[in-house]
Amino acid sequence: MEIPQIPKDKFKLLNNAGNKEQEKIGTPALTYMQDVRRRLFKNKVAVVCLTLLTIIVFISVFAPIIAPYNPNAQHATLSNLPPKLGNLNIPGFNGYQNMGGKMVDAYAQVHAPKGTYYLLGTDYLGRDLLSRIIYGTRLSLIVAVLATLVDLLIGIPYGIVSGWKGGMTDNVMQRIVEIVSSVPNLIVVILMMIILKPGLISIVLAIAITDWVTMARLIRAQTFQLKEQEYVLAARTLGESSTKIATKHLIPNLSSTIIIQTMFTIPNAIFFEAFLSFIGIGIPAPNASLGTLLSDGQKAFRFLPYQMWAPAIILSIIMIATNLLGDGLRDAFDPQSSD
Amino acid sequence: MAKYILKRILYLFLTLFIIATITFFLMKMLPGTPFSNQNRLSPDQLAIVKAQYGLDQPIFIQYIRYIGGLFQGNLGTSFQFNNEPVTQLIGQRLAPSMQIGAQAMILGTILGILLGAVAAIRKNSWVDTLATFVSILGISIPSFVLAVLLQFYLAYKWHIYPVALWDNFQSSVLPTIALAALPLGNVARFMRTEMVDVLSSDYIELAKSKGNSEWQVVIKHALRNSLIPIVTIIGPMAVSTMTGSMVVENIFSIPGIGEQFVKSITTNDYPTIMGLTIFYSFLLILVFLVVDILYVLIDPRIRLGNGGND
Amino acid sequence: MDKILEVKDLHVNFATYNGTVQAIRGVNFDLAAGETLAIVGESGSGKSITVRSILQLLAKNADINKGTILYHGEDLLKKSKKEMDAIRGNKISMIFQDPMTSLDPTMTIGKQVAEPLLIHNKVSKKEALGRAEEVLRLVGIPNPKERMNDYPHQFSGGQRQRIVIAIAIVDYPEILIADEPTTALDVTVQAQIIDLLKELQQKIGTAIIFITHDLGVVAGIADRVAVMYAGKFVEYGSVDEVFYNPQHPYTWGLLDSMPTLDTSEDDHLNSIPGTPPNLLNPPKGDAFAPRNEYAMQIDLEKQPPFFKVSKTHYAATWLLHPDAPKVTPPKGIQKRFEKFKKLGDK
Ligand SMILES: Nc1ncnc2c1ncn2[C@@H]1O[C@H](COP(=O)(O)OP(=O)(O)OP(=O)(O)O)[C@@H](O)[C@H]1O
Ligand SMILES: [Mg+2]
């Protein structure tokens, strides 16, 4: 083997002894939350879903400003009009309707005042479908958010207490959870709906009364682990109060579980509201929710399919977007779970 | 094992007893009598009817009677439907519900397993994306929306299937599809996660290092290991299928117990609601029990009494 | 001696979100029939990737972008999937690090041990199971006949590793790759497993590539040792040469951090300061230079070639260049040199 020719001065020892700087080099440390956000925003699907949901929530919040008509205002003469998008002549959105094989201008037939446009048409009572969908979405979201809140308000403290106290308390609390979760939740929801007066509050309670169990279970399991963590032990030995430990040390560390679980509670609540309203024991008339709109739409579906399509699409979009966003959040909080 | 099953059966009855008790008192809390809104009866007639249903007795006696009846398999009599016993009602209507429920669960599970497995094997490819999309649709679109759409397009417009009729297998196709979407989505997602996990495990590496081809590895090792946990979602699947069947039966006019349940809710037929509630609970708790036993039987790691402590 | 395996200029890259990880950057070695080669090095140095390349059991994002792996003169990297399947578990087999997770939890161990036979040979199930039972006895599973139908969780960690070994040797492979087969086991079991491997090697004459980051177990089993750092071999030679006449400062560091029988109280163990380089963009010069107490200017500029120490012993360090200054290695290493002299005198 030939020995490479190297200038002699290159062979001076650098005196690397005790050279420790190397250890400091590394990628700049991101905080956990920054990391989560970065991963979430890198996920295109999650970002699209987040955007969609933001738009839907925005429209719901500002429904009174955005909705073109009063959602409950009836116009007997203007019932069941097809969608019309201004004077644009787009098939399906030009106010024409198939009547006995002929396309006729439904708006002209009922002598609708000039300049009357219903973007998504009207229902059997002549109410503007678009406004009803906007308000209906709003109501469904309110149900979902309230149910989720109640769910959190019961589930989190229950889980924390059960996990933190352990022993006998935990035992009793877990038996209760077991019994509650062994009853099919639909049955509980339906029984609650029969007993309570139909309405927003009843639906929220009925949904929350079954849903908190999952949350409580997850929180308890995590609290059990956190309890043994050093910083929590330290706080305990330092004599910090239980409430302070719970809010300062436990809740922040439980936040990922809570956020992810919430993203699965919301579509569940939206589904139950729609379900109950669909079978006629949910939101009472004349208020619109996605469920009542679907129920009304179904009755007219054969002849006026758009009355069902519109709420069905909105409902599906909300469900899909929350489910996908839930997935995205889970991957962002726990990168190993994806790949 | 026998001891475990016995304990579980005991729990089943305990839970049922609690459910029955709660249902009973909840129903009694309801204001008014079920007769006040439909038949205008004179006070005399009302008293006779009440006596006939035993409603004139103190509530506690009624309760004892009801529970006693339950033990003899008597779920009470309907206020409607010519005072038919609820058990008889269920008996007549169980078969169609069971048929579409079972068909939907089997169809959904099989398709879901295939979809999930393919997605996991071809992870991050377009197949995976497609499978994810299909399963999200299955999970997100409520069965009753799907049912209405299917009914409109496949039955009403294109006449491929009957619109609302219950006689042969043909008429069960659409309700089955509507109900199968959710289990399909859930199973596919679950299966994909399980299978991705299994495929990245050490024993799969070892199986490859033995000289198994890619497909042999999947068939001999990966499938079975990812299929076992699928058993655990059969219980929740039964719950959601039952939920769905209530409206789907309604939409397709299927004479099943789901349709009956909704009908009794809208007509305040309390004995039927109570009876069906208890029956549904029984059915579902039984499914959970069977599933748990099944799981113990097919997973060698948790064979009881074997000291499996993995 | 005839070489059954020759790895030449192996390069392996991984495509990751952050860029290309150059995990293996030019590895050369060979293996003679029946010998044992140990590969040692810190975690992440590329030991597993090197040997997994031989069987092409790499992650999907891996790319063997350069090099040849000659098995009896034929390049394994050019073989089809099917041809590779025929080699795995038959000619070349592998033992993995963690016996607790290496066995299929839902298949009886009898079937798992018999599987390679059924894949590679035209034998009946019964014959294969019979063979499996024999091999289980050979690796020291008591009552193999009864235990054939048991599942992995019914065995202890040490027993499971014996079963994994049984799977690996059931088809009498020519080469057995053991990737840290004892790391996950406790010390007494480690020794038993090493003894078992030695015994089996004698009985069936397989060559072994033994990977470890524990130099302590090497002396007992290996004929030759290769020291790996940051995706390259830095020194290789016979066990005596590498242990008692080490030339590379990294080898010095490794040996110095290893407790030996004659480590006395006042000899403190030194660990090598610093961490291995980021292989996303490996340094231009010697990858070890930043951690090297004896680094020279040239180390930062140019990667050292292998310098010949003896016919069987090579080391890649500029310190072996004739123009390099003489350095005094750590005390522990000097003691080793003395021992090596004695060995040579004998
Ligand atoms: N799939 C992968 N993607 C990206 N980088 C990888 C991948 N697999 C391995 N690497 C990188 O390749 C390098 C070598 O890994 P390897 O597993 O060979 O290390 P090792 O020497 O076996 O370490 P250990 O002693 O911990 O097993 C490591 O730096 C690792 O980060
Ligand atoms: Mg390794």
In this prediction, residue A21 carries a pLDDT of 45
Distance between A284 CA and the closest CA of chain B, angstroms: 13
Q: Which of C222, C255, C284 finishes a domain?
A: C222
In this prediction, residue A14 carries a pLDDT of 74
Hey, are the CB atoms on B265 and A279 less than 8 Å from each other? yes
Hey, are the CB atoms on A13 and C305 less than 8 Å from each other? no
CB atoms within 10 A of CB A247: 11
What's the mean per-residue pLDDT of chain C?
A: 88
pLDDT classification of C12: cutoffs 50, 70, 90: very high
Q: Name A103's bridge partners.
A: A98
Q: How many angstroms is it from C272 CA to the middle of ligand 1?
A: 20
Q: How many angstroms is it from C16 CA to the middle of ligand 2?
A: 18
In this prediction, residue C77 carries a pLDDT of 93
pLDDT of A114 strictly over 70: no
Q: Which of C222, C242, C275 finishes a domain?
A: C222
Q: Which of residues 239-268 of B touch C (CB under 8 A)?
A: none
What's the mean per-residue pLDDT of chain A?
A: 78
Judging by DSSP bridges, how do beta strands C224-229 and C36-40 pair with one another? parallel
Total tally of structural domains belonging to chain C: 2
Per-residue pLDDT tens digits for B230-286 = 888 888 888 889 888 988 998 888 888 988 888 888 887 888 888 888 888 888 888
Residues of B in contact with A319 (CB under 8 A): 139-142
Q: Which of B137, B140, B247 sits opposite A279 (nearest CB)?
A: B247
What proportion of chain B, given as a percentage, has pLDDT over 70? 87
Q: How many angstroms is it from C101 CA to the middle of ligand 2?
A: 15
Per-residue pLDDT tens digits for A213-243 = 888 988 888 888 887 777 777 877 877 777 8
pLDDT of C266 strictly over 60: no
What's the mean per-residue pLDDT of chain B?
A: 83
Residue B195's closest CA among B138, B298, B122? Answer: B122
In this prediction, residue C274 carries a pLDDT of 78
Q: Name A84's bridge partners.
A: A94
Site to probe by mutation for ligand 1, drawn from C21, C22, C179 as the one with most ligand atoms within 8 Å of Cβ, is C21
- What's the domain range around C211? 3-222
Q: What is the mean pLDDT of residues C32-39?
A: 93
Per-residue pLDDT tens digits for A73-89 = 667 676 666 766 666 66
pLDDT of A17 strictly over 80: no
Q: Which of A109-118, B59-68, B175-184 shows the lowest per-residue confidence on average (mean pLDDT)?
A: A109-118
Pocket of ligand 1 (CB under 6 A): C 14, 16, 21, 23, 41, 43-49, 59, 61, 213, 279
Q: Name C236's bridge partners.
A: C226, C314
In this prediction, residue A27 carries a pLDDT of 47
Per-residue pLDDT tens digits for A237-264 = 877 777 887 777 777 788 888 888 888 8
Per-residue pLDDT tens digits for A268-321 = 888 888 888 888 887 777 878 888 888 888 887 777 777 788 888 989 999 999
pLDDT of C133 strictly over 60: yes
Per DSSP, C12 falls in state E
Q: How many angstroms is it from C214 CA to the middle of ligand 2?
A: 12
pLDDT of C324 strictly over 60: yes
Which residue, by CA, sits nearest to atom 1 of ligand 1? C59
Q: What is the mean pLDDT of residues A82-99?
A: 67
In this prediction, residue A101 carries a pLDDT of 67
CA distances from B43 to A55, B62, B82, B210, B267 (A): 59, 21, 21, 85, 22
Per-residue pLDDT tens digits for B209-222 = 999 999 999 999 99
Q: Which of A1, A4, A11 sits opposite C296 (nearest CB)?
A: A11
Q: Which of C222, C239, C274 finishes a domain?
A: C222
Does residue C273 sit in helix, strand or coil? coil
What proportion of chain A, given as a percentage, has pLDDT over 70? 78
Does residue C108 sit in helix, strand or coil? coil
Q: Name C38's bridge partners.
A: C210, C225
- Residue of chain C nearest A16, judged by CA positions: C293
Residues of C in contact with A39 (CB under 8 A): none
C232 or B267: whose pLDDT is higher?
A: C232
A44-81+118-333: CATH, from 3.30.420.40, 2.30.40.10, 1.10.3720.10, 1.10.1060.10? 1.10.3720.10
In this prediction, residue C64 carries a pLDDT of 92
Q: Do C14 and C121 sit in the same domain of this protein?
A: yes
In this prediction, residue A231 carries a pLDDT of 77
Ligand nearest to the CA of C212: 1
- In whole angstroms, give the CA distance from residue A154 to residue A163: 14
In this prediction, residue C287 carries a pLDDT of 84
Instruction: Give the best residue of B7, B8, B132, B148 to mutate against chain A (max A CB count within 10 A).
Output: B148
Distance between B303 CA and the closest CA of chain C, angstroms: 11
- Residue of chain B nearest A176, judged by CA positions: B15
pLDDT classification of B70: cutoffs 50, 70, 90: confident
In this prediction, residue A94 carries a pLDDT of 67
pLDDT of C182 strictly over 80: yes
Per-residue pLDDT tens digits for A153-168 = 999 899 988 888 888 8
Q: Is the separation of the CB atoms in B208 and B217 below 8 Å?
A: yes
Question: ipTM for the complex?
Answer: 0.86
CB atoms within 10 A of CB B207: 27
Q: Do C60 and C32 sit in the same domain of this protein?
A: yes
In this prediction, residue C331 carries a pLDDT of 84
Asked if C191 is an interface residue toward chain A (Cβ–Cβ < 8 A), one would say no
Per-residue pLDDT tens digits for B274-307 = 888 888 888 888 888 888 888 888 887 765 444 4
Site to probe by mutation for ligand 1, drawn from C47, C182, C218, C250 as the one with most ligand atoms within 8 Å of Cβ, is C47
Hey, are the CB atoms on A4 and C295 less than 8 Å from each other? no
Residues of A in contact with B261 (CB under 8 A): 190
Extract the tokens encoding B245: 């069947």
Q: Which of A50-54, B28-32, C196-200 shows the lowest per-residue confidence on average (mean pLDDT)?
A: B28-32
A126 or A158: whose pLDDT is higher?
A: A158
Extract the tokens encoding C21: 């990880």
Q: Do C40 and C147 sit in the same domain of this protein?
A: yes
Per-domain residue ranges of chain B? 102-255
Q: Is the separation of the CB atoms in C292 and C299 below 8 Å?
A: yes
Asked if B200 is an interface residue toward chain C (Cβ–Cβ < 8 A), one would say no
Q: What is the mean pLDDT of residues C35-59?
A: 92
Q: Do C160 and C302 sit in the same domain of this protein?
A: no
What proportion of chain C, given as a percentage, has pLDDT over 90? 49
- Full strand arrangement of the beta sheet holding C36-40: C92-95, C175-179, C207-212, C36-40, C224-229, C232-238, C314-315, C307-308
Residues of C in contact with A14 (CB under 8 A): 295-297, 299-300
Hey, are the CB atoms on C318 and A11 less than 8 Å from each other? yes
Classify residue B82 as left (phi > 0), alpha (psi -120 to 50) or beta. Answer: left
Q: How many angstroms is it from A196 CA to the middle of ligand 1?
A: 61
CA distances from C260 to A45, B124, C150, C180 (A): 57, 49, 40, 20
Q: Which of C88, C106, C164 sits opposite B300 (nearest CB)?
A: C106
Per-domain residue ranges of chain A? 44-81+118-333
Which CATH number belongs to the domain containing residue C105 in this structure? 3.40.50.300
In this prediction, residue C174 carries a pLDDT of 93
Asked if B216 is an interface residue toward chain C (Cβ–Cβ < 8 A), one would say yes
Distance between C320 CA and the closest CA of chain A, angstroms: 10
Question: B102-255: CATH homologous superfamily?
Answer: MetI-like (1.10.3720.10)
A and B: number of Cβ contacts within 8 A: 92
Q: Which of B140, B242, B273 sits opposite A316 (nearest CB)?
A: B140
Hey, are the CB atoms on A14 and C325 less than 8 Å from each other? no
Hey, are the CB atoms on A9 and C297 less than 8 Å from each other? yes
Specify burial of residue A261 (Cβ count, 10 A radius: 0-12, 13-18, 19+): buried
A and C: number of Cβ contacts within 8 A: 66
Distance between A7 CA and the closest CA of chain C, angstroms: 9
Residues of C in contact with A38 (CB under 8 A): none
Specify burial of residue C32 (Cβ count, 10 A radius: 0-12, 13-18, 19+): middle
- Residue of chain A nearest C275, judged by CA positions: A23
> What is chain B's percent helix, strand, coil content, to nearest 5?
75, 0, 20
Residues of C in contact with B194 (CB under 8 A): none
Judging by DSSP bridges, how do beta strands C92-95 and C175-179 pair with one another? parallel
pLDDT of B32 strictly over 60: no
In this prediction, residue B24 carries a pLDDT of 83
Hey, are the CB atoms on C101 and B221 less than 8 Å from each other? no
Q: How many angstroms is it from C27 CA to the middle of ligand 2?
A: 16
pLDDT of C82 strictly over 70: yes
A78 or C252: whose pLDDT is higher?
A: C252
In this prediction, residue B113 carries a pLDDT of 95
- Residue of chain A nearest B247, judged by CA positions: A279
